[in-house]
């Protein structure tokens, strides 16, 4: 599946990845740093691609984003995004190291980078002007904050900044907290998956046409797509969405509720589920109340409905309530800490924690019945494979000379 007619020596592309994965044989040069790009390429590695992580002399910034750090001084943040890869450090301001990259691309299917727009062109590595003619089957993916052009084109972008600019913070939080950043880098995460989808579509097209193409993913575009259903609510009503805490703008009761020993989240999306809720908790009186007759009325009277439900919930523990409600067909879940979430029996059943000597990380969420993914080798230290890769390139030229 490698893209070029004259691949590099097998020593460079060592097939260290899962040879039975869906992407076995695919070769990826990963120039990206921080989160969105590395997440994308880690997923490619989990599913069998051979990924060479090319880092600047100082390394990926996430190597230093701690504490916490592991004993070797590497930040936990970096380890979350770079398993299954090999590392080489290159300084693209030098002709010598740019030549090494070009050698790597001789055997590559995919290149992923997240430099500021124009950076690759400055180095003479622009896709349209240089790379596509030299490597016609190369799929080139760039991940940027805002894209190359437009009023914000070429500017730097980080997850929380995009949450702010694109309205995500404006609908997260309550009146006490004010607009609040979502507690995970949700824009970066989704942008990584957006880039992944684009790359895989380009692979399918290449199978038909024999040619690669450019794939672009931006934090800005991705963040705007997160505004569901808020954007469509605004388009329809003309009303600017505001802060609802944990509640849903279109559904009630769909919110966080206090119990005797903590909080649960209750998800009721239709009248049948509301009837089951009321019967399960012994509040059939709510069914006869016209204030809660249907979802539209429950939205209008959400505050009083929450008071009624919590009055009953506070006489029960969260685990007992969740067990009763879920068994009755009403979606409900305890509001767990990270520690509690990772310790759940179902987390272990789903194999969503990978643990082996020297590494512990989250599992793989996408599984294929015939081509099973497999978490790759422990995240590399900086330039841990640099000598090996350079030696292979040298031997290739010595052998051909």
Measure Cα distances from 371 to 138, 247, 368 in Å.
24, 40, 5
- The answer to whether residue 385 is catalytic is no
Q: At what angle do helices 36-46 and 186-209 cross, to 10 degrees?
A: 50
Q: How many CB atoms lie within 10 A of CB 134?
A: 11
Q: Per the residue annotation, which of 248, 349, 394, 397 is the catalytic one?
A: 248
Active site residues: 248
């Amino acid at each position: 599946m490698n893209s070029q007619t004259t691949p590099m020596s097998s020593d460079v592309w060592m097939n260290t990845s899962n040879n039975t994965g869906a992407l076995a044989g695919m070769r990826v040069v990963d120039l990206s740093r921080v989160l969105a790009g590395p997440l994308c390429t880690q997923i490619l590695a989990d599913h069998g691609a051979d990924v060479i992580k090319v880092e600047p002399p100082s390394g990926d910034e996430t190597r230093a984003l701690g504490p916490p750090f592991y004993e070797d001084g590497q930040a936990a943040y970096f380890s979350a995004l770079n398993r299954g890869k090999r590392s080489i450090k290159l300084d693209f301001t030098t002709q010598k190291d740019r030549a090494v990259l070009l050698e790597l691309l001789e055997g590559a299917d995919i290149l992923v980078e997240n430099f500021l727009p124009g950076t690759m062109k400055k180095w003479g590595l622009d896709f349209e002007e240089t790379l596509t003619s030299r490597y016609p089957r190369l799929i080139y993916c760039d991940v940027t904050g805002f894209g190359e052009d437009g009023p914000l084109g070429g500017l730097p972008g980080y997850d929380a900044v995009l949450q702010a600019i694109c309205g995500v913070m404006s609908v997260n939080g309550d009146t006490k907290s004010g607009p609040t950043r979502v507690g995970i880098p949700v824009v970066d995460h989704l942008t990584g998956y957006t880039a992944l989808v684009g790359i895989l579509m380009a692979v399918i097209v290449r199978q038909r046409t024999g040619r690669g193409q450019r794939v672009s993913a931006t934090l800005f575009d991705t963040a705007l797509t997160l505004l569901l259903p808020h954007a469509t609510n605004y388009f329809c009503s003309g009303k600017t969405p505001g802060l609802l805490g944990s509640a849903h703008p279109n559904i009630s009761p769909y919110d966080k509720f206090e119990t005797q020993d903590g909080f649960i989240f209750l998800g009721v999306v239709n009248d049948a589920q509301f009837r089951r809720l009321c019967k399960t908790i012994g509040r059939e009186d709510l069914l006869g109340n016209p204030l809660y007759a249907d979802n539209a009325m429950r939205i209008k009277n959400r505050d009083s409905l929450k008071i009624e439900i919590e009055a009953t919930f506070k006489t029960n523990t969260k685990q007992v309530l969740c067990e009763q409600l879920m068994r009755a067909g009403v979606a409900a879940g305890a509001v767990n800490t990270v520690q509690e979430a990772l310790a759940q029996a179902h987390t272990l059943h789903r194999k969503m924690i990978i643990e082996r000597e020297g590494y512990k990380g989250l599992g793989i969420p996408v599984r294929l019945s015939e081509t099973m993914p497999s978490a790759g080798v422990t995240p590399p230290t900086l330039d841990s494979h640099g000598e090996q890769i350079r030696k292979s390139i040298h031997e290739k030229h010595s052998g051909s000379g």
